[in-house]
Structure 1
């Protein structure tokens, strides 16, 4: 694999992350890398690296290393995926499903990755546009995990339609709907009873949130399809969120068009990384069966 020479560093605004950030920047510089640190007023002075804005980092970095949890990587992925910059995560969060390098493994893993010994994975992510009064807005929203339609303020159900292209799927009365990528299938959608999708799949899952009818079950569709959610009901106050981090209010008649993004999310993993090992170790998937496998 191609080695990296210009590396971006994205950190979170928390005191416990500062030592890791400092060690990371120093290690990268010792490996001969130009270090670009994403500008953040709350980050401390670091022993190495030059502060740059998001635009310069996206335009110049060959690799971006994210120090934080999955949420930090989601935010970085939304603006770096369109630029084609691959991401590597150093876990300083809780679960760390996407950020798979522990701080105590950082030095060894960095040397291998910077030297070209790594695995590159491309994952489908989502793109969305909003339509109001028959006019589609210019803004395009990107979501690594999911696009979620839900009630804006109260615990009342909302009413909405779902479509796949020109095909009507259903009229729903529920707390909302999760449209997730394979990456997002291990997040909110999993808690909502959705299926696990292997990250290599070109697919999306539609997962109703607490539907009023027992037959309103999750469904998986091809990644080349378009999904449209249309808000119905005169008194419905809905909102749409992207990765749980960006929200927009919706009115009755508004719609959300969701499809595969033109650019995939590129993730860097240490060699030998296993998706199923991550499922077992971090989600406890299949636990209780180890003794059977060992027989």
Structure 2
């Protein structure tokens, strides 16, 4: 078994968990490859065995990898998908942060969970992505023009609202007068969209959701549509430019740029322990089912 490991940050609270992960893997019959920049960060804080290989970047990922470990929070995992892309390598999210909606393993159960994963005691949850095409093209989103969580349009450098003319399957829907608009996948429904009043959507649902950000037209509400819908957006406002983010990647677009969003032609595979479920995650992370009367 060949495993790639990626992380973005290192902090004192995560040290013991990183060491636990690496020590556990060294005692397994696996080949471990650590992304070079992450290994350099770790080496400045602790000693790592020389038995681990190095890669300068993960552009060298190929079909020989069986699993890809993302160590950190949800933001790290969202960055990890830009390395895996359409290669179909299952991702194991190991949460050493706070919330970790996308994580396979929480930091308190790393040893037990790693044993299960190495022994094949897991399932794979396939997650849809959104792709973005712009007219004219935008360099920041080429070629990685996809998002696992959401594509978000936001105003910039002004307190004035923007207008987002929105079409679904070439049919005019509405113009959102707002701070912006979020187009989220079911995976992203528990992220930015949720904080703006959007619904929670099961990852197996074949939908997308349009969620306005602080709409000024008060009749605007989140709208759930089929995942195979084509969404066309055009923004205008007092400022000549606005921001568009694909998960953690941000670009600047000019007014009247046409954005076409649709389902990406591939899916991301997230590893899920056999005993876990999305319902369990919701209950734990959102504290559902707890009796607050005591």
> Could you tell me how far apart the structure 2 residues matched to 1:12 and 1:233 are?
36
**Aligned twin of 1:46:** 48
**Aligned twin of 1:36:** 33
Q: In the TM superposition, what is the alpha-carbon distance from 1:187 to its structure 2 partner?
A: 0.6
CA contact (8 A) 2:163 2:176 kept: yes
Q: Does 1:121 align with 2:118?
A: no
Q: In the TM superposition, what is the alpha-carbon distance from 1:150 to its structure 2 partner?
A: 0.8
Q: In the TM superposition, what is the alpha-carbon distance from 1:82 to its structure 2 partner?
A: 1.5
**Aligned twin of 1:12:** 8
Equivalent of residue 283 in structure 2, options 274, 280, 285: 280
Task: Name the CA shift for 1:160/1:93 in 2 (closer, same or farther; >3 Å).
Answer: same
Q: In the TM superposition, what is the alpha-carbon distance from 1:235 to its structure 2 partner?
A: 3.8
> Superposition RMSD on alpha carbons, in Å?
2.2
Q: Does 1:209 align with 2:208?
A: no
Structure 2 residue matching 1:153: 3-state secondary structure: coil
CA contact (8 A) 2:164 2:181 kept: no
Structure 2 residue matching 1:221: 3-state secondary structure: strand
Q: In the TM superposition, what is the alpha-carbon distance from 1:140 to its structure 2 partner?
A: 4.3
**Aligned twin of 1:57:** 61
Task: Name the CA shift for 1:236/1:171 in 2 (closer, same or farther; >3 Å).
Answer: farther
Residue by residue over 1:225-244, the C-alpha shift from the partner in whole angstroms, topping out at 9 and shown as x without a partner, is: 1111111246443110111x
Within a 5 Å distance, the mapping from 1:32-181 to structure 2 comes to 32-40=29-37, 41-44=40-43, 45-47=47-49, 48-52=51-55, 53-132=57-136, 139-181=143-185
Task: Name the CA shift for 1:190/1:104 in 2 (closer, same or farther; >3 Å).
Answer: closer
Gaps of 5+ in 1: none
Task: Name the CA shift for 1:55/1:232 in 2 (closer, same or farther; >3 Å).
Answer: same
CA contact (8 A) 1:21 1:46 kept: no
Task: Name the CA shift for 1:285/1:153 in 2 (closer, same or farther; >3 Å).
Answer: farther
Structure 2 residue matching 1:229: 3-state secondary structure: strand
Segment of structure 1 superposing worse, 33-42 or 77-86: 77-86
Task: Name the CA shift for 1:58/1:22 in 2 (closer, same or farther; >3 Å).
Answer: farther
Gaps of 5+ in 2: none
> Could you tell me how far apart the structure 2 residues matched to 1:273 and 1:289 are?
25
Q: In the TM superposition, what is the alpha-carbon distance from 1:59 to its structure 2 partner?
A: 4.6
> Could you tell me how far apart the structure 1 residues matched to 2:5 and 2:143 are?
27
Structure 1 residue matching 2:61: 3-state secondary structure: helix
> Could you tell me how far apart the structure 2 residues matched to 1:24 and 1:176 are?
40
Give the alignment's TM-score, normalised by structure 1: 0.89
Structure 2 residue matching 1:43: 3-state secondary structure: helix
Task: Name the CA shift for 1:142/1:46 in 2 (closer, same or farther; >3 Å).
Answer: farther
Structure 2 residue matching 1:60: 3-state secondary structure: coil
CA contact (8 A) 1:159 1:174 kept: yes
**Aligned twin of 2:267:** 264
> Could you tell me how far apart the structure 2 residues matched to 1:278 and 1:85 are?
23
Task: Name the CA shift for 1:92/1:58 in 2 (closer, same or farther; >3 Å).
Answer: farther
Number of positions where the alignment pairs a residue of Structure 1 with one of Structure 2: 284
Give the alignment's TM-score, normalised by structure 2: 0.89
Q: In the TM superposition, what is the alpha-carbon distance from 1:11 to its structure 2 partner?
A: 2.0
